[in-house]
């Protein structure tokens, strides 16, 4: 279990951001990862940085591209199947969200190869995780279910 269990995240100017525990992340993952936009620190003072090469304007452009793709026939075919990419649960197509496999804040782009339909539950839990980090989390869930 991570030393971050149960701790919330705070911005460098002490604004409270979230109280969601990071039990599923190991210290080594947090040490090498850039998880959230801006320079953040968790309550114990450990810094977690955002990729400084991606500015807000670039993220806004990538979001606009995703918005256009969401209206495309390609995306409509993807969600029509009604299956979450991560948990593979059957979901009403209208309940599926567009998820960036590699999050925008972690350097991902709004391209067909980086966008997948995800149920709201999976999308909310994944947040800014990279595929390797999310895969570790999903494997942990599978072990607990069996």
> Residue 72: its pLDDT value, please?
92
* In the predicted structure, residue 21 carries a pLDDT above the cut 70: no
DSSP for 99-112, written as a single string: EESS-GGGT--SSG
Select the more confidently predicted residue: 140 or 84.
Answer: 84
Distance in angstroms between the alpha carbons of the first and the last residue of the chain: 20
This prediction has a pTM of 0.56
Count H helices, E strands: the chain?
Answer: 5, 6
Beta bridge partners of 9: 18, 42
| Rounded (5°) CA angle 40-45-50 | 20
Q: What is the CATH number of domain 56-145?
A: 1.10.30.50
Range from 38-47, 51-60, 112-121, 126-135 that averages highest in pLDDT: 112-121
> Residue 109: its pLDDT value, please?
87
CB atoms within 10 A of CB 132: 9
Spell out the domain ranges in the chain. 9-48, 56-145
pLDDT band at 141 (very low <50, low <70, confident <90, very high): low
Residue pair 12/48 in contact by the 8 Å Cβ criterion: no
**Average model confidence (pLDDT) across the chain:** 69
> Residue 143: its pLDDT value, please?
66
CB atoms within 10 A of CB 55: 10
HSE at residue 134, side-chain half, CA atoms within 13 A, is 20
Which segments of 3-130 does DSSP mark as H helices, in order?
Answer: 27-32, 56-70, 73-80, 120-126
* In the predicted structure, residue 115 carries a pLDDT above the cut 50: yes
Q: What is the mean pLDDT of residues 41-61?
A: 58
């Amino acid at each position: 279990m991570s030393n971050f269990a149960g701790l919330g995240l705070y911005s460098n100017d002490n604004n409270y951001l979230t109280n969601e525990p990071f039990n599923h992340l190991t210290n080594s993952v947090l040490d090498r990862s850039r998880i959230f936009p801006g320079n953040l620190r968790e309550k114990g003072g450990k810094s977690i940085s955002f990729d400084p090469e991606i500015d807000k304007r670039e993220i806004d452009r990538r979001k606009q591209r995703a918005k256009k793709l969401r209206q495309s026939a390609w995306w409509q075919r993807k969600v029509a199947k009604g299956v979450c990419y991560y948990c593979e649960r059957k979901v009403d197509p209208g309940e599926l969200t567009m998820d960036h496999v590699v999050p925008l804040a972690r350097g991902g782009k709004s391209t067909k190869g980086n966008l997948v339909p995800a149920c709201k539950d999976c999308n909310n839990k994944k947040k800014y995780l990279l595929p390797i980090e999310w895969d570790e989390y999903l494997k942990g869930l599978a072990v607990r279910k069996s």
